[in-house]
Structure 1
Amino acid sequence: MLIAKVLPSPRICLFFSVFFFPFGSSMCIYLPLLTTPEADEIMRALLIMQEKQSAANVGFSLSLFSSFSEHLKWLLFNNPVPSLIQEGPQCGLVALWMAGALLSLPRAVSFGRIVQVALERGYTAQGEMFSAADMAKLAGEVFPCQTELLSGKLEGENRERILRHLSAGFPVLIPYPWNLVTCLSRVVCTGALLGLKRGFQLPPCQEDKEIPGLFHASPSASSFPLDAVAETYLLSKQGKSCRYQLWSYTLLQESNAQLTDFSPKRAADGKVYIVPAGGVREGLCGKAVLLRPGGSEIHKPR
């Protein structure tokens, strides 16, 4: 682990805007959610998207929701989490705090406690977290939970593990770039919206009363075969908004793969940041952290 004052990098990361902690471009799907009870937020957001998908500010050209009753069966998994707006570069720590809501904790853990432990262990200096491995260690220290660090890429076997994990009701932390100026961010994924091929027979699920073709997953639905999935979107929250966001899995995976360089703006701000040996590429690129209830245990990277 290196504790260093990062020098300006001559290389610029590539980012997509409008999503996550807004680092990139309009290639993601942003949900303009309302300040309604958590139980209704997701469905209200889907309805809004369905009604406004042609609006210029939505940036949504896939006509996803118009296909609900035509081409695919849509299966929604989601568990609500509270929101917390970050102050400074705290996106990873805020995402970790939100994830705690899905870990069946015996008692609440304050955000201040998470920050305190991260500082004491030398994982952060300003609230930043540039190491997924350190994030997994931190989660195991502040929560009674099991952690698993995925590495390599978010495709193939890792994609399957992420979808199975989310469908079981557990959170996933995924880093991604925010924009060309700010640097990177981290999102807590709390659920998935899966477009299933029409020939697939769903387990008993409740069809939404307002959107035909959209089904709310039952516990038995988590056993769906992945080869039946034609479209994959992740539901998430991050520290710059109280609203849910809906991401294309492919775009999120590609965004994560862009995490190779430290932000030029951060590098030039005169502050000290903690960067792992190997830099941002080694610490975050191709990595995700899976959390589940249980005693502290850190699994080796996959």
Structure 2
Amino acid sequence: MSSERDAVYYPQPPPPPLLPLLMNNIPQLSNPCAVIPLTGNCTLVSLVAYQCIQTPEEELLAVRNRLWDMEGTQESPAILCYRHIKPVLQDGPKCGLVALSMASSCTSQPLSVEHLFQEAHRRGFTNHGEMFSVDDMATLARDMFHQSCRQVEILSGGLGQDRSYVLNQLMQGSILLIPYDADANHAPCCRQGHKAHWAVVSGVVSSALPEQMPHLVARQGKSRHLALWPYDELQRSNENLMELDPGRAVDGRTYVLPPGGVAAGLQGRAILLHELGLDQPVPQTL
């Protein structure tokens, strides 16, 4: 049992320094859309300098280090895999199309949000940029990526369908498109679908705490920065998408909703893009 005497003679070690250190153990990205298999032994990146980060490697390590700081463990969380995706900021209710545009940055022919909007509008999938149907998103992705994606797979059971399968596919380079409820900081929450939003997931970080589930590396259109969300929190948020925001229902706009509404179109559903922009399959590493 610890005592006040222990605290005097055996003080806690100081926290890691905030100044940037050398990044000796992380590979350089000769191909910005390559899959990066990494270990958790990467050196630290300054959290203070996060806003000035220039490289994908520094950005990735910064979000890993935020988790490390929160968990307070001696062992760092392990970065299992990551595909760099370029950020795209959202203008208007086009979060799904922004997520699809961000995913397209992994191909040799990235697609603009405006191009995707025009195509989705022509097909009757959207009026203002909203995408309340996973089926419509998957159809749009299949047609837009028909030369650069091996398969567009709908996960009818969402992240709860088969966790090992989803993680393995991410480890092999697949990209996940997923609707969820966004909190004020755009992290997953549960508001019955009133804040329905889309994100693109392209990496996995394993917690240093054995009881914790993996974290998913994601981007969404309200920020340029990477996000790191617990797998189970994103799963719960995805599974609670039940109804249209009452404010939207009376805002004077007409939105395209599938038969059965938001619940039928989004609840507990997601999309995996297999081998998007990859010339060859990535070996399974999980």
So what's the TM-score if we normalise by structure 2?
0.69
Aligned to 2:56: 38
1:166 to 170, 183, 190: 170
- 1:255 paired with 2:237, answer yes
Give the AA of the match of 1:168. Q
1:127 Cα offset (Å): 0.3
**Compared with structure 1, are the counterparts of its residues 123 and 47 closer, same or farther at alpha carbon in structure 2 (3 Å cutoff)?**
same
Matches within 5 A, 1:62-141: 63=71, 66-69=72-75, 74-102=78-106, 105-141=107-143
Give the secondary-structure state (helix, strand or coil) at the position aligned to 1:34.
Answer: helix
Give the secondary-structure state (helix, strand or coil) at the position aligned to 1:246.
Answer: strand
Give the AA of the match of 2:73. S
The 8 Å contact of residues 174 and 274 in structure 2, kept in 1 or not, is answered as: yes
* Larger fraction in strand: 1
The 8 Å contact of residues 63 and 227 in structure 2, kept in 1 or not, is answered as: no
In the aligned structure 1, how far is the partner of 2:216 from the partner of 2:276? 24
In the aligned structure 2, how far is the partner of 1:73 from the partner of 1:112? 38
Give the AA of the match of 1:47. N
Aligned to 1:213: none
Answer 1 or 2: higher relative contact order, Cα 8 Å, separation at least 6.
1
- 1:46-72 per-position Cα deviation (integer Å, ceiling 9, x unaligned): 334545x3xxxxxxxxx2xx2252xx8
In the aligned structure 1, how far is the partner of 2:238 from the partner of 2:155? 12
In the aligned structure 2, how far is the partner of 1:244 from the partner of 1:93? 18
Matches within 5 A, 1:13-28: none
In the aligned structure 2, how far is the partner of 1:108 from the partner of 1:232? 29
**Compared with structure 1, are the counterparts of its residues 245 and 120 closer, same or farther at alpha carbon in structure 2 (3 Å cutoff)?**
same
1:156 Cα offset (Å): 4.5
Give the secondary-structure state (helix, strand or coil) at the position aligned to 1:77.
Answer: strand
In the aligned structure 1, how far is the partner of 2:77 from the partner of 2:124? 47
Alignment size in residue pairs: 218
Matches within 5 A, 1:1-302: 33-36=50-53, 37-51=55-69, 53=70, 63=71, 66-69=72-75, 74-102=78-106, 105-144=107-146, 145=149, 146-157=151-162, 159-179=163-183, 183-195=195-207, 231-293=213-275
Give the AA of the match of 1:38. P
In the aligned structure 2, how far is the partner of 1:258 from the partner of 1:285? 6
In the aligned structure 2, how far is the partner of 1:262 from the partner of 1:182? 6
Give the AA of the match of 1:86. Q
The 8 Å contact of residues 177 and 198 in structure 2, kept in 1 or not, is answered as: yes
Give the secondary-structure state (helix, strand or coil) at the position aligned to 1:154.
Answer: helix
Aligned to 2:4: none
In the aligned structure 1, how far is the partner of 2:273 from the partner of 2:217? 16
Instruction: Give runs of ≥4 in structure 1 deviating > 3 Å.
Output: 48-51, 179-182, 195-198
Q: What's the RMSD between the two structures over aligned residues? A: 2.6
1:139 Cα offset (Å): 0.5
**Compared with structure 1, are the counterparts of its residues 280 and 182 closer, same or farther at alpha carbon in structure 2 (3 Å cutoff)?**
closer
Structure label with greater radius of gyration: 2
Give the secondary-structure state (helix, strand or coil) at the position aligned to 2:205.
Answer: strand
In the aligned structure 1, how far is the partner of 2:209 from the partner of 2:59? 26
1:230 Cα offset (Å): 5.4
Give the AA of the match of 2:160. E
1:166 Cα offset (Å): 1.1
In the aligned structure 1, how far is the partner of 2:98 from the partner of 2:161? 28
1:107 Cα offset (Å): 2.5
Unaligned runs of 5+ in 1: 1-30, 54-62, 199-228, 296-302
In the aligned structure 1, how far is the partner of 2:194 from the partner of 2:248? 7
Give the AA of the match of 2:157. G
In the aligned structure 1, how far is the partner of 2:216 from the partner of 2:161? 16
